[in-house]
């Protein structure tokens, strides 16, 4: 079986993912079909990547140079004056490049082309793999492979970034981004050989990237039958492929872990870049194995912690809570939480621009984000539990599968929150951007409907009863409404 046969199966799966699809006659389904022009185009694109690995490496090193320049240099420059502009001040330009363009649009790229950023451009991945090439090559210890790291790393990085104002100042950006890069190099030097152990297990955004890549309408398809056929034929001794992110290529069924680097294209005639339905992986693959860490990341991470992280700075509840606690402390003559000012690498401390956080501010910030995550995550979990339970005896796998349907609304919320930095900086440059509100609303409504459709598809895997399916979908819709409501409050109420 050729790689074209494998991607043709993907094309038929894509057809089944479309609304209103009606199964065809069995005779039509089994007839072989010649690969279409689109399928050939995707296959050739994968081959182009495989044949251009030296070019990709040069691009990665160019990105590394730009990354180091924009992260390191601004941290040693004075803060920009109020009259500075993005095009005339390196600090503002770096801030806009990282937090206004790079971060939100890298997230968007995950949903469009999978983890191509990771495999083709990411400076941390390139540096970690380079260090691994000349490192000690130790086996990966069990503590690194712990499945909870994606959730823990995301939560800790998000909260710490808010405590030191990582989006506003260059020193915190150097601390967090530079610290992550140093960790990637160290882990690469110590573990694996020509591998990206850091990217696979410890990268703070690995879990988020993996979730968003499930929506991508393109992936590297592996056909097990073609793989087996090649082992029984003359390809039995095919040259091994170095999969840097440690993906077991033979059993790979989704795009979550694949870095889209193209190295494995046409391996054993069974691997090829191919189109697929954007719903395919969540509906047909994600439910095969329960992953509690992914569920936590979706419900309490992206929909909980991320929402609280963007809420607190504009929330009237936070202001009221801070005032009430401050009055309570003053009445009892406990003034040190109001006066204690930790250094900038613990809490924001820039008196020259009148931006400082006291110990009280930091404690309430963490408490507010935690409370928001608990409230939103708890309510969503209850809705998903009820949806899973409405379809029959309680199976945890169904609960985790329903959580996957929330990926579109969760991803959209984080993108909108991060792009707020883009909008704010462009407003500061005098651009009106009057259409932003409509665009945000369209994105939020569209992603909510997408999540609802995924809930409907997932419910249909467990029942043919239209009323039970509708009831389960309605409960998923309530969870979607809770998630979307948090961002609606952030955008249009506060």
- Which range (69-83, 229-243, 320-334, 371-385) has the least confidence? 229-243
Residue 235 in domain? no
**pLDDT band of 429, cuts 50, 70, 90:** confident
Do 58 and 181 reside in the same domain of the chain? yes
Q: What does the pLDDT read at residue 289? A: 84
Question: Does position 48 have pLDDT exceeding 90, yes or no?
Answer: yes
Out of 212, 234, 259, a domain closes at 212
Q: What is the pTM (predicted TM-score) of this model?
A: 0.90
Residue 387 in domain? yes
Q: What does the pLDDT read at residue 8? A: 52
Do 179 and 313 reside in the same domain of the chain? no
Task: Report the pLDDT averaged over residues 120-141.
Answer: 95
Tell me the C-alpha to C-alpha distance, in Å, between residue 43 and each of 46, 229, 298: 5, 20, 32
Residue 412 in domain? yes
Measured in degrees and rounded to the nearest 5, phi and psi for residue 322 equal: -60, -40
- As a whole-number percent, the residues of the chain with pLDDT over 70 amount to 92
Residue 366 in domain? yes
Q: What does the pLDDT read at residue 477? A: 97
Q: What is the DSSP letter of 36?
A: P
Q: What does the pLDDT read at residue 9? A: 53
Please, what is the average pLDDT of the chain?
A: 90
Do 90 and 206 reside in the same domain of the chain? yes
Q: What does the pLDDT read at residue 27? A: 37
- Which range (4-8, 205-209, 461-465) has the least confidence? 4-8
Residue 410 in domain? yes
| Domain count of the fold of the chain | 2
Q: What does the pLDDT read at residue 454? A: 98
pLDDT tens readout for residues 242-286: 999 999 999 999 999 999 999 999 999 899 999 999 999 999 999
Do 328 and 425 reside in the same domain of the chain? yes
Task: Report the pLDDT averaged over residues 347-351.
Answer: 95
Asked whether the CA dihedral 406, 304, 254, 459 is positive or negative, the reply is negative
Do 73 and 190 reside in the same domain of the chain? yes
Residue 22 in domain? no
Torsion on CA atoms 192, 193, 198, 202, rounded to nearest 10? -20
Question: Does position 158 have pLDDT exceeding 70, yes or no?
Answer: yes
Q: Is 222 helix (H, G, I), strand (E, B) or coil?
A: strand
Do 66 and 206 reside in the same domain of the chain? yes
Q: What does the pLDDT read at residue 439? A: 93
pLDDT tens readout for residues 15-40: 455 444 444 433 333 344 556 787 89
Do 322 and 176 reside in the same domain of the chain? no
Which structural domain, as residue segments, surrounds residue 462?
Answer: 295-493
**pLDDT band of 319, cuts 50, 70, 90:** very high
Residue 288 in domain? no
- As a whole-number percent, the residues of the chain with pLDDT over 90 amount to 78
Question: Does position 461 have pLDDT exceeding 70, yes or no?
Answer: yes
Question: Does position 6 have pLDDT exceeding 60, yes or no?
Answer: no
Do 458 and 341 reside in the same domain of the chain? yes
Out of 212, 245, 262, a domain closes at 212
Do 65 and 163 reside in the same domain of the chain? yes
Q: What does the pLDDT read at residue 193? A: 93
Question: Does position 129 have pLDDT exceeding 70, yes or no?
Answer: yes
Out of 177, 212, 247, a domain closes at 212
CB 163 within 8 A of CB 224: no
C-alpha angle 389/393/394, rounded to 5°?
60
Of 267 and 6, the one with more pLDDT: 267
CB 470 within 8 A of CB 419: no
Residue 21 in domain? no
Do 203 and 308 reside in the same domain of the chain? no
Q: What does the pLDDT read at residue 235? A: 57
Measured in degrees and rounded to the nearest 5, phi and psi for residue 397 equal: -60, -35
- Which range (29-38, 236-245, 465-474) has the least confidence? 29-38
Query: Cα(348)–Cα(480) distance, rounded to whole angstroms?
Result: 34
- Residue 36, CA atoms < 13 Å, CB-side half-sphere: 11
pLDDT tens readout for residues 52-81: 999 999 999 999 999 999 999 999 999 998
Q: What does the pLDDT read at residue 229? A: 87
Do 300 and 425 reside in the same domain of the chain? yes
Do 185 and 310 reside in the same domain of the chain? no
Q: What is the DSSP letter of 25?
A: P
């Amino acid at each position: 079986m050729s790689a074209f046969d494998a991607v043709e199966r993907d094309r038929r799966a894509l057809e089944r993912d479309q609304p209103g699809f009606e199964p065809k006659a069995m005779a039509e389904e089994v007839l072989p079909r010649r690969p279409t022009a689109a399928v050939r185009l995707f296959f050739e694109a994968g081959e182009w990547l495989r044949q251009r690995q030296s070019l990709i490496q040069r691009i990665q090193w160019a990105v590394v140079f730009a990354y180091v320049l924009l992260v390191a240099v601004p941290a040693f420059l004075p803060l920009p004056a109020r009259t500075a502009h993005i095009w005339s001040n390196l600090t503002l330009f770096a801030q806009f490049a990282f937090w206004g363009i790079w971060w939100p649009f890298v997230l968007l790229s995950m949903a469009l082309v999978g983890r191509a950023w990771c495999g083709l451009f990411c400076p941390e991945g390139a540096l970690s793999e380079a260090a691994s090439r000349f490192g000690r090559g130790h086996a990966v210890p069990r503590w690194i492979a712990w499945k909870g790291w994606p959730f823990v790393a995301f939560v800790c990085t998000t909260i710490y970034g808010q405590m030191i104002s990582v989006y506003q100042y260059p020193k915190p950006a150097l601390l967090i981004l530079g610290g992550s890069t140093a960790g990637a190099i160290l882990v690469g030097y110590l573990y694996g050989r020509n591998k990206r152990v850091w990217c696979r297990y410890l990268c703070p955004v690995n879990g988020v990237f993996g979730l968003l890549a499930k929506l991508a309408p393109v992936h590297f398809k592996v056909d097990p039958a073609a793989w087996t056929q090649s082992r029984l034929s003359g390809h039995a001794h095919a040259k091994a492929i170095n999969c840097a992110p440690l993906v077991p290529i033979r059993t790979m069924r989704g795009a979550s872990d694949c870095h889209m680097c193209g190295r494995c294209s046409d391996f054993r005639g069974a691997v090829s870049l191919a189109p697929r339905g954007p719903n395919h992986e969540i509906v047909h693959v994600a439910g095969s194995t329960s992953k509690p860490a992914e569920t936590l990341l979706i419900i309490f991470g992206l929909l909980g912690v991320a929402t609280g992280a963007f809420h607190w700075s504009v929330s009237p509840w936070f202001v009221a809570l801070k005032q009430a606690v401050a009055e309570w402390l003053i009445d009892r003559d406990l003034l040190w939480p109001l006066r204690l000012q930790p250094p900038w690498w613990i809490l924001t401390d820039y008196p020259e621009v009148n931006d400082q956080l006291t110990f009280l501010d930091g404690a309430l910030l963490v408490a507010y984000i935690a409370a928001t995550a608990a409230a939103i995550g708890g309510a969503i979990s209850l809705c998903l539990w009820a949806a899973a339970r409405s379809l029959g005896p309680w199976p945890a796998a169904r609960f985790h599968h329903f959580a996957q349907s929330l990926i579109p609304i969760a991803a959209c919320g984080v993108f909108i929150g991060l792009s707020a930095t883009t909008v704010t900086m462009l407003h500061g440059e005098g651009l009106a951007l009057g259409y932003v509100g409509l665009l945000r609303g369209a994105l939020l409504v569209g992603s909510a409907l997408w999540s609802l459709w995924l809930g409907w598809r997932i419910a249909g895997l467990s029942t043919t009863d239209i009323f039970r399916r509708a009831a389960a979908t309605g409960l998923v819709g309530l969870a979607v409404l809770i998630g979307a409501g948090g961002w609606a409050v952030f955008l249009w109420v506060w």
